[in-house]
Amino acid sequence: MRAQRGLVGLMFALMFVVALRTMDVRQDVPERSVAPGDGAGARVPFRITVVDSKTGRGVPMVELTTVNGIVSNTDSAGVIAFNEPGLMNEDVFFAVKSQGYTFPKDGFGFAGTRLRVTPGGSTTLKIDRVNIAERLYRITGAGIYRDSVIFGDRVPIRMPLLNAQVLGQDSVQAALYRGRIYWFWGDTNRLAYPLGNFAMSGAVSELPPDEGGGGLDPDVGVDLTYFVGPDGFSRPMCPIEGQPGPVWCDGLVTCADETGRERLLCHFARMKSLGEMYEQGIAQYNDGKEVFEPVCRIPLDARLLMRGHPVRVKETDGEYWYFPTPFPLTRCRADYRSLLDGSRYEAYTCLEPGARYDAESPRLERDAAGRLVYGWKRDTGVILQQEQNELVQKGSMKSEEALIRLRDVVTDKRVLGHSGTVFWNAYRGRWVLIVQEAWGTSLCGEVWYAEAPALTGPWGPARKIITHDDYSFYNVAHHPFFDQAGGRLIYLEGTYTMAFSGAKVPTPRYDYNQIMYRLDLSDERLRCVQVTLPELDAKLPAGAPETRATRDTPGA
């Protein structure tokens, strides 16, 4: 027993001596200076550029993640300035992924690559595009060209890091007004506090060179000049006194008032919640104050409204504004008094005049031969896609009688359109629809292309042009004032946000912001959406944007 106790004591003594010597050794070793490129002394980042494998253009919003979870995202030029202390002058594996793009996988199924990360070094990675549309750049928010600026690169926009203290913006509206492009967005995040501007933000930009303006080519960017308040932050563009709540605006139109002066009008809604309004009406832009002011209120239960992204069309009996939401089934004459009078709006519908939609008793109008009678009718409800689907399911309407028959040309599944735009396209000789899907691969994150020979449809075959794995990309809008090459190239933007999606972590800098895409309508993958309707084509004058609103019996 004593021998055991002695052995234990000797062991503790030896351990104590070793510990003391270890402490002494550590104290005797001078502090090691960190060499440049090896930890905290690194000053020059490693440059990673990610480009489209086919076009060679830098791809924004590509995510590179190290094995230990360090995440970097390419800026709008496809650039990352990587400078992580401890990882410089090392071989580092980066997982590579991007919404709508793919990167080759190795033998173990990892989509990524190993890079020798050195200060001042650089590499270029090629990524394959799944989207038919090409992601070009981010329009709003901070750090649009963050990494490019770090390297001292020349960038196309004046404010590449922070503009009007805006960090994020929701849902774009745009209008050509008095020789410039006026941009408006919904709720806007600010730098200084979690609560920002909830009464619409605004900015202006010059027309692109193709349109005779001094602005940027839409291929490279949009130079925004914001309307700001005394604090430098993007200020409210539609401040309305009354009940608290966000003010949302849409349906921007221009027209001459009684004096012949051009006016900019919009629909406004003061919201109590996402789906409930306190009030709504029409507001007019005050050029002196540079704000929208209400000119009339509209009943909350009004049937036909100035909404969506309007398109102006010259008909045989005059000019009209059509209001796609996303399908252009509401219109009003393009004169000041009519636009302010809700009773003058018309719906293109097959309901009996004066009827509202009722799935149980739809009151559809049919002629003596039993065919549905479509026409422009005042004070009558619109039948949108969801209602059409219900009527077809209940047997009240045949599928070939429906105006909205969107289906995926690849899988033949139905596509439920939620929001979007419709404009005439000279290159295709058709009305083109850019529409967001309500329920798709990702929630509110899929965008489709379709076309029709008539503004009112029928809308049928559709092709997906933008996809997201787990993110929303909603309220998409095609900007026809940016069209190039005779309409072959069109530009569209939408709101990229984790809201309503399955995403758990927001994409840094990109979340809740506007992203611009370009679609080449000569792409062979879009050929399959072309619709041949000889009886309609025969009525279309060469080069004329005919709405075909007089066709009363679709499918007959």
CB atoms within 10 A of CB 176: 16
Q: Give residue 548's pLDDT band: very low, low, confident or very high (50, 70, 90).
A: very low
Q: What is the pLDDT of residue 93?
A: 98
Instruction: Name which of 517, 475, 501, 518 is nearest 169 in CA terms.
Output: 475
What are the tokens at 83? Answer: 């400078």
The span from the CA of 164 to the CA of 203, in Å, is 10
Across all residues in the chain, what is the average pLDDT?
89
Radius of gyration of the chain (CA): 29
Sequence-distant (6+) residues with CB within 8 A of 132 are 449, 463, 464, 465, 466, 519, 523, 525, 526
491-524 burial by CB neighbour count: b if 16+ within 10 A, else e? bbbbbbbbeebebeeebebbbbbbbbbbbbbeee
**pLDDT exceeds cutoff 50 at 551:** no
pLDDT of res. 531 = 61
Q: Are strands 404-408 and 459-466 parallel, antiparallel or unpaired?
A: parallel
E strands in 2-62: 46-52
* Neighbour tally for 539: CB within 10 Å: 14
| The CA-based dihedral angle spanning residues 213, 219, 225, 231, taken in that order and rounded to the nearest 10 degrees | 180
Name beta bridge partners: 174: 183
CA geometry: angle 351, 354, 355, nearest 5 deg:
50
Q: Does the pLDDT of residue 374 top 50, yes or no?
A: yes
Tokens of 97: 């992924």
Q: Using CA atoms, how far apart are residues 283 and 268, in angstroms rounded to an integer? A: 7
Residue 394 clears pLDDT 80, i.e. is over it: yes
Q: Please tell me what DSSP assigns to residue 389.
A: H
Give the model confidence (pLDDT) of 21-51 as tens digits.
333 333 333 333 334 444 444 479 999 999 9
Q: What is the predicted pLDDT for the residue at 536?
A: 40
* Global model pTM greater than 0.85: yes
Q: Is the pLDDT of residue 491 over 70?
A: yes
> Is residue 313 within 8 Å of residue 332, measured between CB atoms?
no
Q: What is the pLDDT of residue 5?
A: 42
pLDDT attached to residue 16: 37
* The three-state (H, E, C) secondary structure of 47-86, written as one string: EEEEEECCCCCECCCCEEEECCCCEEECCCCCEEEECCCC
Cα(230)–Cα(546) distance, integer angstroms:
48
* String of DSSP letters for 198-240: -S-EEEEEEPPGGGT-SS--TTT----EE-B-TTSSBPPSS--
Domain locations along the chain? 46-150, 403-542
Q: What is the pLDDT of residue 7?
A: 39
Any idea of the CA torsion for 135, 138, 143, 147, to the nearest 10 degrees?
20
- Res 214 pLDDT > 70: yes
Instruction: Identify the pLDDT of residue 408.
Output: 95
**Least confident segment among 49-53, 273-277, 418-422:** 273-277
The mean pLDDT of 355-363, rounded to a whole number, is: 92
- Residue predicted with more confidence, 39 or 491: 491
Q: Do residues 152 and 158 lie in contact, with contact meaning Cβ atoms separated by under 8 Å?
A: no
Side chain identity at residue 171, one-letter code: S
SS3 27: helix
Q: Is the peptide bond before 458 cis (omega within 30 degrees of 0)?
A: yes
Residues 6 or more apart whose Cβ sits within 8 Å of residue 154: none
pLDDT at residue 413 tops 80: yes
User: Does pLDDT of 87 surpass 80?
Assistant: yes
The single-letter DSSP state of residue 401 is G
The phi and psi torsions of 355 (rounded to 5 degrees) equal: -85, 155
Question: C-alpha dihedral over 395, 396, 397, 398, to 10 degrees?
Answer: 30
Rounded Cα gap, residues 162 and 248, in angstroms: 24
Dihedrals phi, psi of 523, to nearest 5 degrees: -60, 130
On the CB side of 179, CA atoms within 13 Å amount to: 3
pLDDT score, position 275: 82
Q: Please name the helix (run of DSSP H) or strand (run of DSSP E) that holds residue 17, with its range, or none.
A: helix 2-28
Using an 8 Å Cβ cutoff, are 152 and 141 in contact? no
Question: What's the pLDDT score for residue 532?
Answer: 52
Where in 467-520 does DSSP place strands (E)?
A: 472-478, 489-497, 513-520
Q: How far apart are CA 182 and CA 202, in angstroms?
A: 7
- What fold is seen in the domain 46-150? Immunoglobulin-like (2.60.40)
Query: CB 242: neighbour CB atoms within 10 A?
Result: 10
What digits encode the pLDDT tens for the residues 496-519? 999 888 788 999 999 999 999 999
